[in-house]
Amino acid sequence: MNDQLIQAYVYAAGVLGGILFWAGFLIFGFIAKRYNVVFNKPTFHGLLMTAPSGILLYSVLLIIKATLKNSQASDVIQITAYILLIISAGLCLFGIYKFNSLLTNLMKYKGEE
């Protein structure tokens, strides 16, 4: 196999991984939304559903970077992709932390008024 074919497989796996990761957080966001409806407490479900979009953008930007011949432009795209990935990861962690704190409070409740 040549290098271009291997690189195409790597990028395809990266995009597929990003899509699966985003889909997992989307399902997690739907679960958090149900908790929001049932308990009328903020669950940050919108953040949980949209924050992983940076991971998809990261994958797409790296594919664009691979197609460019200009090394200066590809360096800017790579730095932008990494920044989007870090922002996305931070927002995902924040959303998970807030939802976890809500679940912890609900577990302490145990039927008390």
Count of the separate structural domains present in the chain: 1
Cβ pair 53, 12 in contact under 8 A: no
Question: Which residues span the domain enclosing 90?
Answer: 3-109
Task: Give dist(CA 57, CA 82) in Å, integer.
Answer: 10
Give the tens place of pLDDT for each residue, 14-70. 888 888 888 888 899 999 999 999 989 898 999 888 888 888 888 888 888 878 888
pTM for the full predicted model: 0.78
